[in-house]
Amino acid sequence: MMTEFFRFTREPFDRDIPVEDLVLFHNHNELCARLMYAAEHRQIALVTGDTGTGKTTAIRAVMKRMDDSRYRFLYIANAGLTPKTLYRVILERLQIQPKFRQVDNQVLTHQVLEESYQKGRQVVIVVDEAQDLDPQMLAEFRFLNNFKADSFSPISLWLVGQSELRETMKLRILSALSGRIQIRYHMTGLTESEVHDYISKQLACVGEEKMIFSADAVKLIAKTSQGNPRMMNTLCRGALLDAATREEQVVDTSHVERAWMEVNG
Ligand SMILES: Nc1ncnc2c1ncn2[C@@H]1O[C@H](COP(=O)(O)OP(=O)(O)O)[C@@H](O)[C@H]1O
Ligand SMILES: [Mg+2]
């Protein structure tokens, strides 16, 4: 209904926005650049940030942009991961039959990851929602990444999670892993001027060339969402729907307020 009223080509502010249409705001670019660097230099990266700030989206963008013939991404978003299942999951993703015992799977995993690197297709292991993993499991990543007495690593490992993961990583049992993290990035929201650009870019992607949000509406969205993309999407969609229902062509603060009430009321 909103799409018809505004004559958009598709629903704007969509959760599964195509990579080509992503908004390249400062922190998104910074995070993508760091992840690519980590992949190329086979480093461990720790990415944290509140939910909805765009961490998974940046990962998705990097996975799409990097050369598929040189990098093999294993994306794991599994809260139930344990030291026992970790190696099985990796082997299965690499289409290799796991063995029964964990130690054997660990040896086999190391062998396969090294071979893949030597054959020119380096593996990047991405663990998303890592804040849900218990410290024992996180500690296991240190062993996953332990090749040839630490003199060399054939893989890049990205640990990605909500802000509390940053605190968890300070635990003593994780000090060996923490000490090996070469890249740390904490994702935060967009600035007010970036919020404006975010909204107009999203509109342009669905064929709307005019900025149909008033300046005050943008200000209010920036303030209430703190520049969090997921929150902005919810508010923008709600405000557009409210405006469409009232047959009003410009989104102003009253539409945003009602959208906000609907989310939080
Ligand atoms: N660079 C971006 N361009 C456009 N939309 C984005 C961008 N980053 C995030 N979003 C939007 O915000 C939503 C939340 O982002 P997501 O990456 O899932 O956050 P996180 O993983 O940090 O919880 C996404 O579904 C997407 O719609
Ligand atoms: Mg995510």
The string of DSSP letters for 191-211 reads -HHHHHHHHHHHHHHTT--S-
Q: Which residues line ligand 1 (CB under 6 A)?
A: 15, 17, 22-23, 28, 49, 51-57, 229-230, 233
Is there a contact between 76 and 144 (Cβ–Cβ < 8 Å)? no
Tell me if 206 sits within 8 A of 68, measured CB to CB: no
**Predicted pLDDT at 119:** 97
Cα distance between residue 260 and residue 256, in whole Å = 6
- pTM for this one? 0.95
CA of 159 to the centre of ligand 1 (A): 17
pLDDT for 1 equals 82
What is the C-alpha to C-alpha distance for residues 204 and 260, in angstroms, rounded to an integer? 23
- Amino acid 147: pLDDT: 85
Multiple choice CATH, 26-187, 3.40.50.300, 3.30.1510.10, 3.40.50.10300, 3.30.950.10: 3.40.50.300
Q: 97 phi and psi, to 5 degrees? A: -65, 120
* d(C-alpha 237, C-alpha 48), whole Å: 26
pLDDT beyond 80 at 80: yes
* Nearest residue by C-alpha to atom 7 in ligand 1: 54
Provide the residue type at 217 as one letter: A
Distance CA(63)–CA(255), nearest Å, equals 37
The mean predicted confidence, pLDDT, of the chain is 95
CA distance 142 to 154: 14
For 91-132, how does the pLDDT look when each residue is reduced to its tens digit (9 = 90+)? 999 999 999 999 999 999 999 999 999 999 999 999 999 999
Instruction: Please give the distance, rounded to the nearest whole angstrom, from the Cα atom of residue 27 to the centre of ligand 2.
Output: 15
* 128 CA closest ligand 1 atom index: 21
> At residue 79, does pLDDT exceed 80?
no
Establish whether domains 2-18+190-264 and 26-187 are of one fold: no
Distance 174 CA to ligand 2 centre (A): 23
Share above pLDDT 90 across residues of the chain, in percent, rounded to a whole number: 93
pLDDT exceeds 90 at position 168: yes
Q: How far is CA 139 from CA 76, 145, 162, 193, in A?
A: 17, 10, 18, 41
| pLDDT number for residue 242 | 97
In contact, 23 and 162? CB cutoff 8 Å = no
pLDDT in tens, 191-225: 999 999 999 999 999 999 999 999 999 999 999 99
CATH code at 2-18+190-264: 1.10.8.60
Per-residue pLDDT reduced to its tens digit, 50-62: 999 999 999 999 9
Quote the pLDDT of residue 56. 97
Q: What is the mean pLDDT of residues 22-42?
A: 98
The full set of domain ranges for the chain reads 2-18+190-264, 26-187
Mean pLDDT, residues 29-37:
98
- Per residue in 63-75, pLDDT (tens digit) is 999 999 999 999 9
At 264 the pLDDT is: 85
pLDDT per position as a tens digit, 121-153:
999 999 999 999 999 999 999 999 988 777 789
Beta strands in 50-172 (DSSP E): 71-76, 122-127, 156-161
Written as six digits, the tokens of 247 are: 């047959």
The helix (H) or strand (E) run that includes residue 218 is helix 215-225
**Cα–ligand 2 centroid distance for 38 (angstroms):** 19
